[in-house]
Structure 1
C-alpha cells in the first residue's frame, strides 16, 4: 500500500468565476503529512528500506522533513531531521509528533543540509528534499491521477522552491503524452532562484532568502529544474509575499483549507488574474499544501508586511 493517497481533483467555482476560466484543483494539501512531498519522499523511503536502510536522514524545516518523518513512522524506520534555526516551533512540534529526532543547525537550509549529509552513516539513507530522480518519479503520480480522471488542462500552475515538484510534474506530463501542456512556475520575490537561473541561462545562487514563503527558500534551484525548462514549455512568474498571503486567506474562505504562503504564491496568480493565464481556458492548480503555517502566523506576516 502506498504511503500517499490519491487526492481529490476539484473544480473551483470561486476561482473560476474570479478568473473567467475553468480552474481545477489537485488537492495535495489533503495528503496525510500535509503536502505533495509524501509522493516522492514516500517512494524514496520505500526504495531505501528495501535496500536495507536502518535510518532515514533528512534536511528540511518544513514539508519534506514532515514527509520523511511520516514515512519513517509508517515504515518502522527511525528518522533524524536537520532543520535551520529559522524553523518555526510549529514545524518542530509536528516533526516530533511524527517521532522524528530533530537537530537544529545553521541559519539556512544549506547549512542544515551540509550537517545532515556529514551525519549520514553506512546504514543510513539520506532523503533529499527535492533533488532526486526517485522523488520526481513519485511526484509525477499527481499527473497520472489527473490523466486517469480524464481532465486534460491547458496549463499546470505550481510553485517552485528547489524544483522537485516542477521536475515531477514535467515527468508526469511527458509520460502521459501531454508534452504540449505548459507549466506556469511561480515564486515569491526574494526566493526566486528559478527565475534568476532562467534569466542567467544557468544555475545561480541567491545571496539570501528574503521571503516569508520559506518552503520556496532554496538559494539555488536544482539542475534538473533548469533542464525541464529546456525540454518543456515553462513560464516563470514572480509574485509578492503580500499577494501570496492574501491568496492563503482567500483560499481559506473559498475552500475551507489553510495552505502556506508557498502554495499561496501559485493561487495568487489565479486570484489576481495574472496576464500569464490569458491564453488558457482550463487551468490545473497544484494545491501543494503545507502543514507548518497557522492562520495566526499568516495574519502576523501580513500585518508586518
Structure 2
C-alpha cells in the first residue's frame, strides 16, 4: 500500500536523461546518445508502459493486477500497484534472478515462482485470473506500447533526431513502443537496430522466417529477453519500417555491460547489454548515422558481482 504522505504522481514513470556519451561517441566516431531508462524508479523502461497500463486498468475498475514476468515487468507492476494502492500478484519462472525476486517482494507484491520458463509462468498467471482482476502482459498490450512511446517524445522534445535507434528485443514491447514513438513524431525514415542474444533470438528467427517462430528453449543468460516467440505486432512493424536484426553472444553482452559500468557508473543487465554490444559492432545503419540513439533499457536482474562472474564464465 502507498505511504500516507505519498501523493499519487500524474504518471508512474519519470522523464529520463538523454546523455551524449563522450567515450562511446569518440570510439564510434559519431554522436552516441543514451536514453537512460535504467534510471526509472523500478529500474527499467517497463515503468512507462506498465505504469500507463496499471493506471488505466485501475480506472476501469481492476481490483488486483496479475503479471507474468522474467523480472523487470514484475518489478514495474509491483511498483505501480504499490503507488496506486492496488494489490499485485507476480508470477516468475525459476530462472528469474534473486535480485529481481527481492525487488518484487520489497514492493509488497505477492510473488509466485512457477515453471522453468516465462511461458510456463505466464500460463500459471492466466490460471489465477478472475473477472475483477486485470492481467498485465509484459510486452503484448497496446497500452504498453503507448506508454513506452513517450521516451521518443522526450528525445524529440530535446531537439535530437537520431539517424538510427539501437534497442534490445525480447517479446517486442519496447520495439513496438519505440516504433510507435518514431511514427508519431514523423521519424518514419529512422532505422531501428533490434538486438538479441544467441539463445534468446526469437525475433531474428521470426524475421528470417517472415512469421512468428517459437524457440524450443531459452539458453541465453539474458533471461529478460526470454520470450520464446515475439508478439505479432513486432512482426507487423517489420513490414512498414526499417528494422535490422543484430544477434550478439552472451559474452559480448556482458562485456558491454562491464564497459558501460566502467564508463558511465551504472549497472545494467545482459538484456540491455545486447543493445550496447550491437552498437559496438558498428552495423551499417550505425555507420551511416551522425547521431545514434541507444535505449539503455536497464534491468534489475544483475549486480556488478554477477556481471563479473558471468564474464569469467561466459
Structure-2-length-normalised TM-score = 0.96
Return the match for 1:135 from 129, 144, 152.
144
- Which aligned segments of 4 or more residues in structure 1 are displaced greater than 4 angstroms? none
2:184 to 168, 175, 178: 175
- Structure 2 Cα separation of the partners of residues 119 and 69 of structure 1: 17
Check the 8 A contact 1:259/1:293 in 2, yes or no: yes
Of the three residues 156, 159, 174, the one matched with 1:165 is 174
1:97-135: CA deviation from partner (whole Å, max 9, x where unpaired): 000100111111000000101101111100000000000
Rounded to whole Å, the distance in 2 between the matches of 1:249 and 1:204 is: 31
SS of the residue 2:293 aligns to = strand
Whole-Å separation in 1 of the counterparts to 2:281 and 2:235: 27
Deviations 1:189-222 (A, max 9, x none): 1110000001001001001111011111100001
**2:15 maps to 1:12:** no
Contact 2:91 2:111 in 1 (8 A): yes
Q: Deviations over 1:47-89 (max 9, x none)?
A: 0000110100000131100000000000000100001111122
> Which 5+ residue runs of structure 1 have no aligned equivalent?
none
Q: Distance in 2 between matches of 1:111 and 1:14?
A: 41
CA distance in 1, matches of 2:70, 2:223: 9
Distance (Å, rounded) in 1 between the aligned partners of 2:87 and 2:241: 38
CA distance in 1, matches of 2:97, 2:224: 12
Asked if structure 2 preserves the Cα contact closer than 8 Å seen for 1:45 and 1:127, the reply is: yes
Please give the residue correspondences for 1:88-107 in structure 2 after superposition, counting only pairs within 5 Å: 88-107=97-116
**1:262 and 2:268 equivalent?**
no
Consecutive unaligned residues in structure 2, runs of 5 or more: 1-9
Paired with 2:133 and 2:237, the residues of 1 have a C-alpha distance of 30
Query: Bigger CA drift: 275-284 or 258-267?
Result: 275-284
1:271, distance to aligned residue in structure 2 (A): 3.0
- 1:22 maps to 31
Give 2:125's match in structure 1, choosing from 116, 119, 122.
116
| Pairing of 1:266-285 with structure 2 (within 5 A) | 266-285=275-294
Distance 2:301 2:94 in 1: 15
Q: Is the 8 A contact 2:164 2:285 kept in 1?
A: no
Match of 1:62 in 2: 71
Partner of 1:2, secondary structure, is coil
* 1:212 counterpart = 2:231: no
1:221 aligns with 2:230: yes
Match of 2:204 among 188, 195, 200: 195
Matched-pair contact (CA < 8 Å) for 1:15–1:270: no
CA distance in structure 2 between the aligned counterparts of 1:263 and 1:157, rounded to whole angstroms: 10
Aligned length: 305
